[in-house]
Structure 1
C-alpha cells in the first residue's frame, strides 16, 4: 500500500491552468449536490469551460468559469451560465438574464469598460446583486 499524505494546497500558488481545473472540480462538486454532473471542456476554442447535465436529462448548462460576476456583450445570446465563487458560495447564473437586469437597472453600459470592451465585472457583489443571484447560489 502506498503511503499518501494529504496536504491542503495554497490556491494562490497554483498556475492559471491549475486554478481553472481546481475551480471546475470545485463547482462541479457543488453542482453534483443538485443532480448535475459535469464534463470538462477546458482545452476548447468555445466560450465554455464545461457542460453540466442534470441526471434526469431535463436540463443542461454550458458553463464558463470566471473569478467574479461578469457581464459581456460577446457572451450574449449564447445560452451561457457563468460560474464564480464568492464568500463561501458558488454562483452559477444565466448570463443573459443578469445582463438584461443590469442594463435595465444600472449604468454599466455607460462605463468606459463597457463602451470600449463590451465587458463589465463586479469586484465584489453589492447587496442588490447578491439578492438577484440568490436563486443561483449553490
Structure 2
C-alpha cells in the first residue's frame, strides 16, 4: 500500500472535523492527555481529555476558528481550533471575559455567538499562551 497525503481543503465538513480532532488529540498526547470523541455533544463538549495524573480532565468544543458563545458560559469548556498549523486550546469563559467588551458584532448581540474566520494581530497576541 502506498499512502498519499490528503488535501484538507477537499474534505467535507465531517471529515475536516475528524481530521482536526486527530491533530488536536496527537498534540494533547504530548501533554499527557488521552482523548475520547463523544458521539453526541455532552455538556457542550465534542470530546473529553483525561490526563495521566488521574485527576485532570477537560471538556473540549472543537471549532474551525476562534469562537465564543453564551451557550458555553459556566460549563468549564475549552475551545479548540487550528489556524496556520497552530493548535489553540483556550478556556472559553476566560477569553469571553477578555473579549466581550470588544465584540460589537450585531450577530453576537442577537444570537449570543461570535466567531472570526482569521485571527487579527490583537487576537493572536491574546491567544498566544494557548498554543499547544
**TM-score normalized by structure 1?**
0.88
Moved beyond 4 Å, runs of 4+: none
From 40, 47, 52, the equivalent of 1:44 is 40
CA deviation vs aligned residue, 1:78-101 (integer Å, no higher than 9, x gap): 110000001121001000000000
Structure 1 SS opposite 2:100: helix
Give the total of aligned pairs.
131
Supply the RMSD in Å over aligned alpha carbons. 1.3
Which has the larger strand fraction? Answer: 2
Higher-Rg member (1/2): 1
Alignment CA distance shift 1:28-1:99 (3 Å): same
In the other structure, the counterpart of 2:73 is 76
Structure 1: runs of 5 or more not aligned: none
* Cα shift at 1:45: 4.0
Q: What CA deviation, in whole Å up to 9, does each residue of 1:40-69 have, x standing for no partner? A: 11x214321110111112311101110110
Please tell me whether residue 120 in structure 1 is matched to residue 114 in structure 2: yes
**Alpha-carbon separation, structure 1, partners of 2:41 and 2:51:** 24
